[in-house]
Amino acid sequence: MAEEMKKGPRDNGAPDYKKNLHPLMAKNYGQWASHEKIKPGVLVHVAENGDKLYTVRAGSPRTMSVDTVRKICDIADKYCQGHLRFTSRANVEFLLAEEKDVKPLIDEVKAVLGFPIGGTGHSVSNVLHTQGWLHCNLPGTDAAGSVKALMDTLMKEFESDNDLPARVKISASCCQINCGGQGDIAINLQHHHPPVIKPEGVGICELPKVVAICPVAAIRPRQQDDGVTTLEVVDEKCMYCGACHGQCPTMEIRDAKTDTLTIWVGGKTASTRNGPSFMKLAVWGLPNNAPRWPEVADAVHKILDAYKATAYKYERMGEWVERISWKKFFELTGFPFTKYHIDDSEMARTTYNTSAQVRF
């Protein structure tokens, strides 16, 4: 009976992480006394019994070939008993039991992979971007490519951990659904007109689902003269979010001629000090200028320069702006304040930031 009741192996959901811990982590689970930064990108955790576990953090290009992943694994096999992990910002962290292996590992990561070491402390950690064209049918820009171009200009900020007042997390999203989430600095693609419906293709979609997906109820069914049901969009209600395009590709909202990029500032999900906060629009209407997006990099560096010059130590980007005022922020950075910076959404409220779990 007991055998009959036995469940099969679990084959979905997150695996049991304890099976994959570095042996020193498993041995000292819950018994770590302290940790410190040895140098940019290198940490040591000290257990209560004196065991030490070293971590080397490298920036990854996020979108990697199988060949590159194999090379990363070979390095982990050589120095880390096969153990490494990826952070939520796609840094690669190598875990080492021996201090003597730290330098050879760093040399090999640089020589074989060409990855920089850093991203700890008061640095710009690896820039997070959305899944983009790899998995999504909505992207209005190349999230992976634009972030690579931006990171190339931020090597100094990644490799140094005391150049900035506090850590700076940057994210990029290829539409306003904003899978990249909140960031100290966030780059978002914006559309500027309602979706253009291709009536001949509407039949391929489940119309009730397309109607239901619209957050402002701007889509409704329409009966054509020939009796065929199609859809229409109430332009005045549409806020150009693009959610309907995900539900039905015939609702085409992407437009290479009019789509632009925006930069938002001051978001964080950490509960530290003043709690989680939502980012706010800082720069509107930058060109979606592939393949290097120089206007975006220029704007990000202007924000970082102003932040470096006037923020207090440990002050995150959003806390800095709230202290100096948004008026001062626009003066320091030189960005124009436009009508698009005024949040006039009738659904806006003041208490979005009530939980670290909430995203908008």
Residues making contact with ligand SF4 (CB under 6 A): 130-132, 136, 138-139, 143, 173-175, 177-179, 194-195, 213-214, 216, 218-219, 233, 238-244, 253
Closest approach of Cβ 256 to ligand SF4, in Å? 15
3-state class (DSSP) for residue 205? coil
- State the minimum distance, in angstroms, from the CB of residue 187 to ligand SF4: 11
Task: Name which of 250 and 333 has its Cβ closer to ligand SF4.
Answer: 250
Nearer to ligand SF4, 195 or 267 (CB): 195
- Residue 158's closest CA among 248, 59, 227? 59
At 59, which helix (H) or strand (E)? strand 52-59
Shortest distance in whole angstroms from residue 266 CB to ligand SF4: 19
Nearest to ligand SF4 of 131, 310 (CB atom): 131
Least separation in angstroms between CB 224 and ligand SF4: 19
Query: Of the two residues 46 and 136, which places its CB atom closer to ligand SF4 in the complex?
Result: 136
Contacts 24+ apart (CB under 8 A), 207-216: 207/231, 209/247, 209/248, 210/244, 210/247, 210/248, 210/251, 213/243, 213/244, 213/246, 213/247, 214/243, 214/244, 215/239, 215/241, 215/243
Q: Report, in Å, the least distance between residue 260 CB and ligand SF4.
A: 15
Separation between Cα atoms, residue 38 and residue 270, nearest integer Å: 24
**Beta carbon of residue 220, minimum distance to ligand SF4 (angstroms, whole number):** 10
Are 142 and 288 contacting, i.e. CB atoms less than 8 angstroms apart? no
Between residues 69 and 234, which has the closer beta carbon with respect to ligand SF4? 234
CB of 247 to ligand SF4, least distance (A): 8
Taking the least distance from each CB to ligand SF4, the nearer of 136 and 205 is: 136
Query: What are the beta bridge partners of residue 46?
Result: 34, 52
Residue closer to ligand SF4 by CB (options 194, 318) is: 194
What lies within 8 Å, CB to CB, of 187 at 6+ separation is 146, 150, 170, 171, 172, 173, 180, 261, 262, 263, 264, 296, 300
Q: In this complex, which beta carbon is closest to ligand SF4, that of residue 131 or of residue 230?
A: 131
Whether 254 and 339 have beta carbons less than 8 Å apart is answered as: no
Q: How far is the CB of 176 from ligand SF4 (least distance, A)?
A: 7
> Distance between CA 265 and CA 279 in Å, rounded?
5
User: What does the alpha-carbon distance between residue 167 and residue 121 come to, in Å, rounded to a whole number?
Assistant: 6
- C-alpha dist (Å) from residue 91 to 56, 115, 161, 306: 10, 10, 15, 26
